[in-house]
Amino acid sequence: MKKRILLTIISLALFLGACSTSSKFEKLTDGVIVTLDAKEGGAKRVRLQVISDDIIHVSAAPVDTFSKAQSLVVLPEVTGSTSWKLEESSDALTLVTKSLRAKILLATGEVSFTDTTGQVILQERQGGGKSFTPIAIDKLKSYAIRQVFESPADEAFYGLGGHQNGQMNYKGQDVDLVQHNIVDVIPFLYSSKNYGLLWDNYSISKFGDPREYQPLNTVKLYTKDGKEGGLTADYYVEDKIKESKTEDKIEYEFLETPQVDNFPKDVSSKGKVVWEGSFTSDKAGIHKFLVYSSGYTKVWIDNTLIIDKWRQNWNPWTNKFNVDIKSGEKHTIKIEWKPDDSGYLAVKHLDPYTENQEQLSLASDVGDEINYYFIKGKNADEVISGYRTITGKAPIVPKWAMGFWQSRERYGNAKDMLDVVKEYRKRNIPLDNIVLDWQYWEDPKWGSHEFDLKRFPDPEGMVKELHEKLHANLMISVWPKFNKGTSNYDEMNKQGFLFTHNIEKKRKDWVGIGYESTFYDPFNLEAGKLFWKQIDKNLNSKGIDAWWLDATEPDIHSNISVEERKINMSPTAMGPGVKYFNAYSLMNAKGVYEGQRQSSPDKRVFILTRSAFAGQQRYGAATWSGDIVSRWSDFKDQIATGINFSLSGIPYWTMDIGGFAVEKRFYNQTGETLREWRELNTRWFQYGAFCPLFRSHGQFPFREIFNIAPEGTPEYSSMVYYDKLRYHLMPYVYSLAGQSYFNDYTIMRGLIMDFQADDKVYSIGDQYMFGPSLLINPVYVDKARTRDVYLPATTGWYDLYTGEYFTGGQTIHATAPLDKMPVYVKEGSIVPAGPEIQYTTEKPADPLTLYVYTGKDASFTLYEDENVNYNYEQGKYSTIPFTYNEATKTLTIGERQGAYNGMLESRSVNIVWVKKDHAVGVSFNAHPDQMVKYDGKTLTVENK
């Protein structure tokens, strides 16, 4: 009887518990909402929405309701799926799709994701890892938000946009997601565990440690004589000490920083400051330091040089380093700073982080709620495809965009620009695009989009000559900036479309006598339409081909603090600038893309922009890495920058080959300086030939191949060779552009994408795959004539130039003469190439050469279309599949699929077999082993 009563009580308790639990959640057609017991700083409601079998949207709010605002990043047509089922237990709910399980604990709202076998892919930190800190912005209530996830020791992280500190694998590191001249923020990361996270927030965010750096005196500082209280600061004019004092802070950071105005002018122009001493702390552990600087900066810790940088004074940047301090242990420090005329410097510090640095943490300045999308895939390509499923496909760029771009800052008149193109044609150096940088307008008329007719007397005729006589295309610089007093400014201002703070502050820019100016607000969709209308009237109507959308951080005024930048772009039409800080570039590109597609529907949009944001790929926008400097260290950094940018889901990236800003020592080049300048540009050019976009740009000295080095020099010959090699490989290159649209492909591929089984590649940031076949290994050390190259395991490799075979899974000491960069071709590859051409559409790929790298099965699909319009969206394109079977030693050229206007009905195909016992290098005049005629029908060729 007692047992029966006990069982009844237990059953009743379980029933009541289930009733209590069931009342805490609401089932939706596409997911569930769980209501939690409110805890200070925590989530009150958590929502899981099934987007597809592989994508789950997680939202968490500190209040009873969720925002109904449409995401700027995620496509409005992305809605929830009903193809899932719900499993309920006493403590959790699990949403089950065909490929994953998303579980939420009812007590804490903690979310975890597993595969169908129960293997954990990602899980939030115990308790949910969500935090909300109330803040007020312009009298509006909001929250600083944070989400923390667990991360196993062997996990690696990539993406997050393009950053400039040479970071590759972000595991255990910190990344500031703040738009900057040389930083592109894309809040999407890819994990080596084959998932992606899209952090749907537009404000300044942080990956890793969310704390803000503090003044240097948060460690104990000692002079070089050992006295506590600061470092010894010696102020030099030329080689003599002008003043020596003790300083516990180094804060010459921004225009509005008081110390900047008080800095000695003679030290700034022809002197330096040396801080020297030591530091310690009672807090043992890893201490973090930050150096923000322009001019020449060197830092030594314990007599070891750890920072040696130069940066232009209108674009300072940050370098970070860590020091492991034992409690009370002193470390020596020396900082040498040459301002190089009006420089900036700040040195800051953070105490040891008390949380687990290895966990995955994302925090944002402002958010009404936490929003992230979990995207599962079998590999990186599937994950990136999932990202583009919800944020938009990357349209195919015009074919000419995949050719060579020549640019400089700047061509001062029409004749200079046309003469450069004519010189390329005269020398038979391939070129597709010439770029007209800023100041083609009269000085006071920035934002007018009007040519200065004294220097550009016939803009329409200039464009016509480029198109019809020189077979080149023109990209022109268009800023979102408007000088006060221009008609476009007045038109924008009349409708309330401008940010007014910079005008109210009466700040003047640095051009000519200085002019008051500001930027327009693209978050107002009508302002975006007007911006395009003004471009269309004055530039698009003249036949200009592409838009260089500069300064889209937005850089309304240089060298001001981030806090002042927030104010400068506030309020936007959608809300406070701080809330939308990182998304300016996205909205600016949107207005131009949608405007051109309406005005010129038969002309592919091409946009080059200095900033990027998640979803921007859908607007035909490529990104370059900003105003980097002409130094070997910056060159090296661009490799990891490009790789991680590409792993962020946007396929088109480039940089200023040779670096943009130049030290004065390069102005008048002689002797060793001349040698270094030529070598730096040659090595950088070699790398640039294998980037998604191939673009040379920079300040004086001029960047044309023939201006960098004269004909007959190894540098000139090498640059011409790599330019011609890019065009030789154009069937391969343009097919990658086609795949980027139809298959959501990534052109510039971190080694993690293709060799995930080889954990040795996880942190390699100076090698990558260009498409499926080519392993690129830039040489970024001055005077180097060899470099170590890791050949990933699971496959063999052929030297591109000689055909020599190497086994994978080893590091080789690759030869790298000045005129060659090591490039290897993956065993089991088919690389199509074309005839010699001077521009991409000069003639079709006939004959087509197929380099077949044997030893493993291989495949490649050739993509072709009408090159410049959007007819491919209506199915007007063709594909030809190539497959090689190693067992039967046969190459099959499959049946052509599709058709388009101007398609080749038949062509000659030259086949070059590359084998371990038949070493053949790539050649512009390759002697084929076999030749066949192809008319669109399947044919098979035997490897003899």
473 three-class SS: strand
Q: Which residues contact 710 (CB under 8 A, 6 or more apart)?
A: 716
Q: In the prediction, which pLDDT does 62 show?
A: 97
Q: Which amino acid is at 452?
A: D
Cα–Cα distance, 591 to 595 (Å, whole number) = 6
Domain 404-478+526-560+579-749 sits in CATH 3.20.20.80: yes
* 553, 637, 679, 766: the active-site residue: 553
Domain ranges of the chain: 214-350, 404-478+526-560+579-749, 751-942
The count of other CB atoms within 10 Å of the CB of residue 64 is 9
Q: Cα-atom radius of gyration of the chain, to the nearest Å?
A: 29
Is residue 550 annotated as part of the catalytic site, yes or no?
Answer: yes
| CA dist list (Å): 624 to 596, 620, 652 | 21, 14, 9
pTM of this prediction?
A: 0.96
Q: In the prediction, which pLDDT does 21 show?
A: 44
The top-level CATH class assigned to 214-350 is mainly beta
Backbone angles phi, psi at 544, to 5 degrees: -65, 145
pLDDT in tens, 267-299: 999 999 999 999 999 999 999 999 999 999 999
Is residue 382 annotated as part of the catalytic site, yes or no?
Answer: no
* 432, 437, 545, 627: the active-site residue: 627
Q: In the prediction, which pLDDT does 4 show?
A: 46
Spans in the chain with pLDDT lower than 70: 1-23
Structural contact between residues 129 and 602, judged by C-beta atoms closer than 8 angstroms: no
The count of other CB atoms within 10 Å of the CB of residue 785 is 11
Is residue 225 annotated as part of the catalytic site, yes or no?
Answer: no
Q: In the prediction, which pLDDT does 262 show?
A: 85
Distance, first Cα to last Cα, the chain: 89
Q: In the prediction, which pLDDT does 1 show?
A: 43
Task: Say how many CA atoms lie within 13 Å of 572 toward its Cβ.
Answer: 26
* 155, 368, 550, 744: the active-site residue: 550
Cα–Cα distance, 793 to 759 (Å, whole number) = 10
pLDDT in tens, 206-217: 999 999 999 999
CATH match for 751-942 among 3.10.450.50, 2.60.40.1180, 2.20.28.10, 3.40.50.720: 2.60.40.1180
Cα–Cα distance, 617 to 740 (Å, whole number) = 11
Tokens standing for 777?
A: 């290994």
